Amino acid sequence: MQEKELRFSREFEVRFSEVDIMGVVWHGAYPLYLEDAREAWGHHYGLCYDDYLKNNVFAPIVDMDIRYQRPIFYTTKPRIDITYKFSPAAKIVFDYEIHDTEDNALLTSARTIQAFTDQQYQLILENPEFFLRWKEKWGLL
């Protein structure tokens, strides 16, 4: 069976406020890059944070793994590739790669996992109905 995934890429700029005295992106900036990628991906594929709220659910990050392959410098022109990894479970899994657009070198890889909760922060074990409809729209069921 072919693995089901939805991909999106975007270039971004490193801001001076994100680098340390060596001109290297501080490790704490990376989760923000991942967040920006998830938001852009969501706008592209029609699964935005507003959709969760309209359906009375949250989707907090429950696991984040970031692997720093090479430093990102202030002068780097990076691109982040985000891939939704299909899961039948009630969770959202994304893989990320950050590449240098000059030579396509892999700089960083990451993965996040989000779970669904109700608005009282209780875990939801079944896929919410709106999420099932979204999966169906993209041929993921």
Task: Write the pLDDT tens digit of every residue in 63-122.
Answer: 999 999 999 999 999 999 999 999 999 999 999 999 999 999 999 999 999 999 999 999
Q: CA–CA distance from 2 to each of 70, 89, 135 (Å)?
A: 31, 18, 16
pLDDT computed for residue 1 by the predictor? 38
The model's pTM is 0.94
Query: For the chain, percent helix, then strand, then coil, each to nearest 5?
Result: 25, 35, 35
**Segment 8-53, tens digit of pLDDT:** 999 999 999 999 999 999 999 999 999 999 999 999 999 999 999 9
pLDDT at site 4 = 81
